[in-house]
Amino acid sequence: MKHLLEIAAVITRKKVKKIEIFDEASLRNKSSKFNEFFESLMDGKYKNDRDAATALYGCSPTDDKYRQLKSRFRKRLMNTLFFIDVNLPGNSNYERAYYTCNKDWTLVRILHSYGAVGSAYDLAKQVLAIAEKFRFSDIIVHCARLLREEASELKEFKNVLNYNKYIQEFYPVFESELKVEELLNQIAIIEYNEKSTDKASNEIEDLCNKIMSIAELNDSPNINYNSYQAWLNLFELRKDYSSAIEVVERTEEYIKQNPQFEQPTKMISFQLHKMAAFLYTNNFSGARRSVEANIHLFAENSNDWYQYMELYYLQTLRSEQYQIALAIHQKVVTQAKFKKSPRVIREKWNMFKYYHEFYIDTANTNLTNEQRRNFETKSGKLLDDPALFPKELRIITVHTVIAQFIYALQLKRYSQAAETVDRLKTYLLRQLKGKEFLRLGNFIKLLTLLVKANFQPVHLNNEDKILLSIKESPNYYFTELNSLEVLPYEKLWTDTVSKLS
């Protein structure tokens, strides 16, 4: 009761008239500008302040009305963070504990600063117990310092020595965590600045070994996670995707042995990298097993879920598992929230269907009349598509035009196929410049040679050198949209020539 009276006294002296937050009750008020702002923001209707100011007040973003609303809106958002529900499905015990410890530590500091020291110390002991279980070294040190101070004032010197032990054990761990974070940042800087891949690889390997040496001396989940991340970065830089897969599997094993340290947000990142590695080792069976084991980590309709499904989808195409590709596509586009997903996601998946449908439809060269009519109907819809997307989605335009080329070729509409190549050449000259478009540029050169050969592969000249250049610079696609290849260009070329031969 003493602590309740102490806390109540602080609130009585310092309370505000009204706590502004976003809860279910407040969000039901559809006439509120705050709620209009919130819902439109979540629906992706505003790209910048000008969009928001125009929609809400018909004014400029510098207008006092909008600036005041934005300021109060931000404050309300920040207040709401103290009341988010960490017990929702999908949050691990580790994440719940970390949020709770940080929130409660903030309360400890508030209580202590306003003189409610008994309540502050009592809460600090609870926070310390949770932090010790999950090895939150920074919070352990903070709590132990405060409780050591209390024990000293009360002349409870046995407790002073006890809290000293916490600090002596966990302060070096905290320092080591900071050192590992510094080394990981150095790796990121080297990756960004170093033009020589070999030199960067050697420098990063040295840093990885330093991190591993620190990890061997400290039982810290943060250090272990960062150690795995460092090695993953190195192997991806070296394009050693088999080793990258092994790193992720070691991370999985670490979590199996230490389930209390599971951090889904970090494991999601590792699983995305693992799926990308399966894609570039063309390991369909591994990808399929991985999806079955790890899809539960991804919340459906989240950006991470769409990315994971996309990488798996691309794997099925490369492995010629076209029926599975169709099933994945159906699962994604029939999601209730798919139509409200970001435009880049919607346009990618709308474009993807042209490829798996083409390969499914043409798998049997002896199509029945009905199958032929269905294919021609699909082809007609695609070939009539102007395929006009904004500059930031130009690679989707390119892949749509490439799809138009392969459909026109299948229907023996050679003049129409030549027109699509002319359009691709125009893009190459005007927009697709730089190293990131080297593979695409070479693929367009191959298509140009095919047009010059009147679509007769036997009359092709000098295509081997261009094809070799494509093969010598393999594609790696993860998040950079301009690196997207629905199918590797060398496979598209081989398939194109084989269907003409």
What would the two tokens of residue 139 be? 């919070």
- Would you place residue 306 in the very low, low, confident or very high pLDDT band (cuts 50, 70, 90)? very high
Please state the length of the chain: 501
Domain regions of the chain by residue span: 2-170, 365-501
Continuous H helices in 87-156: 93-113, 117-134, 137-153
Burial 280-313 (b: 16+ CB within 10 A, else e): bbebbebbbebbeebeebbeeeeebbbbbbbbbb
- Would you place residue 4 in the very low, low, confident or very high pLDDT band (cuts 50, 70, 90)? very low
Q: What is the pLDDT of residue 21?
A: 59
- Would you place residue 6 in the very low, low, confident or very high pLDDT band (cuts 50, 70, 90)? low
Q: Which residues contact 347 (CB under 8 A, 6 or more apart)?
A: 389, 393, 396
| Least confidently predicted of 62-76, 149-163, 476-490 | 62-76
pTM of this prediction? 0.84
For residues 216-244, give the mean pLDDT: 95
pLDDT over 70 at 134, yes or no = yes
For residues 347-356, give the mean pLDDT: 94
Q: Which residues contact 397 (CB under 8 A, 6 or more apart)?
A: 387, 388, 389, 427
Digit-coded pLDDT (tens) for 438-493: 999 999 999 999 999 999 988 888 889 999 999 998 888 888 899 999 999 999 99
Q: Between 147 and 87, where is the model more confident?
A: 147
What would the two tokens of residue 436 be? 């990131």
